[in-house]
Structure 1
Amino acid sequence: MEYYEVLENFGQLALACVLGGMIGYERQSRRKSAGLRTNILVCLGSCLIMMMSYEIYKQVEGMTNADPARLGAQVVSGIGFLGAGAIMKEGVSVTGLTTAACLWVVACVGLAVGAGFYIEAIMTTILVVIVVGVLSHFELKKSTRAGVLQLTVYSDNNPEQLSIITSCLDDLHIDITKIKMREEYARNEREQTIILVMEMMLLNSRHYSTTHIVNILQDLPGIHGIELR
């Protein structure tokens, strides 16, 4: 291997580290599960796989079944296992989807660098940072303008209880943006029963007063109490 080829290969790997690090830094600044090191390693590994694929293709050039994209295709599908580890489900709420999507895109960026598509990889990285960084501020401002309400609802352990509450909030044009559900033991005058505890984050687009919302929910059947957070 010539000296300039070594420098070119090192430059590709270094660029993959930089681009993966840009996305990883944004994720780590938001305290996400896949941070700086994870994104750098994913991008670096994907780049290396694509570089190896092209080198192997050059050595076996002329074979009818030689395909330089075969190893890269395995990276695109295999990164799903790593992304699945970033997705967490708590009750009916799911978190980590954006982080998992970022890992998949980072792997694609690494493949692009390894294939020599440097401009495309840089442009993709810039767009990813804009999407996950800048656009999140617009979502936060929108939530702030609409009014966010956090409360805990204690109700009967009834499978239909959530649908009752959701239907009531829909009538008020209030969205549930996040919810966690768990069961707790509660003792009344006669016996110990299991109640359903729902920690909710509501988006109040029409700016109903907190007292108005709490009073309406309190009047629903099966509700034992409501606490503001």
Structure 2
Amino acid sequence: MITAQEITLTDMALRVTISMLMGLSIGIEREANRQPAGLRTHTLICVGATLIMLVSIYIPQMYHKIYDLDPTRIAAQVVTGIGFVGAGAIIKMGTNIRGLTTAATIWSTGAIGLAIGAGMYEIAWITTAIILFVLILFNIAERKLFAPSPLKKVIVESHKKEDLEKTIINHLKSKKIRIRSSNMDIRYEPYAITYDLLVHFNSRADLYHLQNSLKELDPTITHIRIFEV
């Protein structure tokens, strides 16, 4: 059994440094894909989890003659607590949800940090490599094997009485987006006009930026939803 005296400051610093490098490597991949939680978030989570694990190991060994302490109790809270950080990385835009993969990497990075804090270097390195393999190579495979449907439904709601349909269509065409069909629905109480368009997206079209650009077309636009058919 490792005693508290055997976990030296040098050993602790080594574990925290390794943790920083592993968190950094995963964070770089997320940052490159412009995800809400990137380089700094993953690095801090991994380092913080490592420190928590070191404290969890050190305290029971330091006071084992006085108290009967469980070294896993503090570390176990990381598994639960890190879920709240991951939830913050999930973004809902209409019926579309982004950030689930980033939330999963946040949770996995916390687990890597705990493993490093426990001195399990080999499995931590292997896990980091597997996570990067999944993020990079699986992403390429998904794009080739499971291409998203080019057809999208664009719904724009406005409380303006004037017809915005032509303005919206011209805007979409300026983005090189083909219009397959368009419909307009009027609701009187409360007054609102809904424009329902079926469009064919270019594979490079950015849904998030398109949504923002549509919002800027007219101040009376209240809701915009874009989803796959």
Give ranges in structure 2 of 5+ residues lacking alignment. 165-177, 184-193, 202-229
TM-score between both structures, scaled by the size of structure 1? 0.67
How far off is 1:148 after superposition? 4.3
2:158 aligned to which of 184, 205, 214: 184
Give ranges in structure 1 of 5+ residues lacking alignment. 155-181, 193-209
Q: Determine the structure 2 residue equivalent to 1:102.
A: 105
1:23 aligned to which of 21, 26, 29: 26
After superposition, the C-alpha distances for 1:140-187 in whole angstroms (9 at most, x for unaligned) are 12245xx74144445xxxxxxxxxxxxxxxxxxxxxxxxxxx533464
The aligned runs of 1:1-229 (5 Å cut-off) are 5-62=8-65, 65-144=68-147, 148-153=149-154, 183-185=157-159, 187=161, 214=180, 225-229=197-201
Q: Whole-Å Cα distance in 2 between the matches of residues 61 and 29 of structure 1?
A: 46
AA partner of residue 158 (structure 2): E
Seen in structure 2, the aligned counterparts of structure 1 residues 103 and 49 have a Cα distance that, compared at 3 Å, is same
After superposition, the C-alpha distances for 1:31-61 in whole angstroms (9 at most, x for unaligned) are 1111111111000000000001111010121
Seen in structure 2, the aligned counterparts of structure 1 residues 15 and 74 have a Cα distance that, compared at 3 Å, is same
Q: Whole-Å Cα distance in 1 between the matches of residues 158 and 43 of structure 2?
A: 42
Q: How many residues are aligned here?
A: 175
Q: Whole-Å Cα distance in 2 between the matches of residues 96 and 4 of structure 1?
A: 37
DSSP 3-state at the match of 1:89:
strand
TM-score between both structures, scaled by the size of structure 2? 0.67
How far off is 1:6 after superposition? 1.9
After superposition, the C-alpha distances for 1:62-98 in whole angstroms (9 at most, x for unaligned) are 4674110111101110011111110011111111000
AA partner of residue 63 (structure 2): V
Percent identity over paired residues = 34
AA partner of residue 45 (structure 1): G
Seen in structure 2, the aligned counterparts of structure 1 residues 148 and 76 have a Cα distance that, compared at 3 Å, is same
DSSP 3-state at the match of 1:183:
strand
Q: Whole-Å Cα distance in 2 between the matches of residues 73 and 224 of structure 1?
A: 49
AA partner of residue 16 (structure 2): L
